[in-house]
Structure 1
Amino acid sequence: MLNLQIIIGSVRQGRGGLSVAEWFEDIARKDTRFTVERVDLAELNLPIMDEPNHPRLQRYTHDHTKRFSEIITRGDAYVFVTTEYNYAIPGALKNALDYLGPEWAGKPMCAVAYGGVSGAARAVEDLRRVAVALKMIPLVQGVVCPLYAQQRDDEGRFHGNQTQTEAAAETLNILAEMGAVLKARRLAAA
């Protein structure tokens, strides 16, 4: 079984990402190929990267970094739930990615993007570039939620449409396939 981590990239008060992540998480938890772990950057509250050593060395000095490293190391595949800030990923997400190095490497990632008309498409491209630099395996599958606020109910819960639900299933399929291959590769190299 693969440990799928759903990472919520926005920490802003009133963020829509939590409702989008909960929708995707409900779908993922029904998939028996995964254990699902939510990683909410708002709860982790990482300060601006404050480690004295380069992340590739994994010589962490702060407890918050050690804890974050342990969390991300557990992951076999990642789904980043992100919006778009000025054509890029939120600063909190970029900061979190920059904290670590080897923990991310050799693992597949996809995105569930939400936002306005563009559905955070530019942020996803930004995220993929960073993922490549961190030696993750970015996959093209994902879910796009343009004008997502129109799909929220009175309680603020997001309800994906049929296209988004099908995209979520396709995303989970490729993550299961690639995640299994890459996990076996990591275990063989260990």
Structure 2
Amino acid sequence: MDTTTPAQAPLKLAVVLASNREGRFGPVVADWFLSRARLREDFETDYIDLGEAELPSALSHRPSPWARAALDKVTPVLDAADAYVVLTPEYNHSFPAVLKTLIDWHYGEWQAKPVGFVSYGGMSGGLRAVEQLRQVFAELHAVTVRDTVSFHNAGAHFDDEGNHRDPAGPDAAAKTMLDQVAWWAAALRSAKEVHPYGS
């Protein structure tokens, strides 16, 4: 018999890879991050790769059967999550359109949950994309954590096997960010058990 209470149960963390560009570098970053997140006992980690999700771009209150089938692969994961980490590149000083599509197809799933960020790119390391995402998630009543993991000129920092060449700094940054996500996720989960958000 499982005697774990909801407050003690591992937090469900949904990691979203926000790139669907051909030849993308994102899976390298995602594999690196997931290998760290899955070591933690306070999280159960799910993964959504938007390069494989094939989300419909035309929003509708009555999605077609094809659109509904695509959404049914991601919506339950987002809904069950206590927290999210978004892995995003920076395209033209912003984040990818496919990520906005995922965000806009959902609303209540994001509410009163924390969001952390892992970004990558050129000189900016994707941080301009993250700053814009903070505004988007605020509109959805999500809580974004302060600390991020950012890879400037990301391709130069990983070897051919996907290992970071100098992991101490990124590992520490990932731990800090995940610690913040875990604190907010646990606090908000406990608060919602007493008083559902928006009620």
Query: TM-score, length-normalised on structure 1?
Result: 0.90
Segments of 5+ residues of structure 1 without an aligned counterpart are: 54-60
Matched, 1:2 2:8: no
Within the candidate set 26, 49, 52, 1:17 is matched to 26
Q: Which residue of 1 aligns with 2:36?
A: 27
* In structure 1, distance between residues paired with 2:160 and 2:43: 31
* In structure 2, distance between residues paired with 1:180 and 1:52: 32
* In structure 1, distance between residues paired with 2:42 and 2:52: 26
Within the candidate set 170, 182, 186, 1:180 is matched to 186
* In structure 2, distance between residues paired with 1:76 and 1:177: 11
1:60-93 Cα offsets, whole Å, 9 max, x none, are x833334432120011111100010111110100
Matched, 1:140 2:136: no
The structural deviation recorded for 1:165 is: 1.1
Alignment of 1:6-155 (within 5 A): 6-52=15-61, 62-155=68-161
> For 1:153, what is the secondary structure of its paired residue?
coil
Report if the CA contact (8 A) 1:9-1:41 is conserved. yes
How many aligned positions are there?
A: 182
1:143-186 Cα offsets, whole Å, 9 max, x none, are 0100110012124x141632111000101111111110011122
- Matched to 2:42, the amino acid is R
Query: TM-score, length-normalised on structure 2?
Result: 0.86
- Matched to 1:76, the amino acid is D
* In structure 2, distance between residues paired with 1:21 and 1:107: 21
- Matched to 1:15, the amino acid is R
Identical counterparts, % of pairs? 33
* In structure 2, distance between residues paired with 1:49 and 1:110: 27
The root-mean-square deviation of aligned C-alpha atoms, in Å, is 1.5
1:113-151 Cα offsets, whole Å, 9 max, x none, are 000011011000011111101111011111010011001
Segments of 5+ residues of structure 2 without an aligned counterpart are: 1-9
**Greater Rg, structure 1 or structure 2?**
2
Q: Which residue of 2 aligns with 1:57?
A: none
- Matched to 1:125, the amino acid is E
> For 1:140, what is the secondary structure of its paired residue?
coil
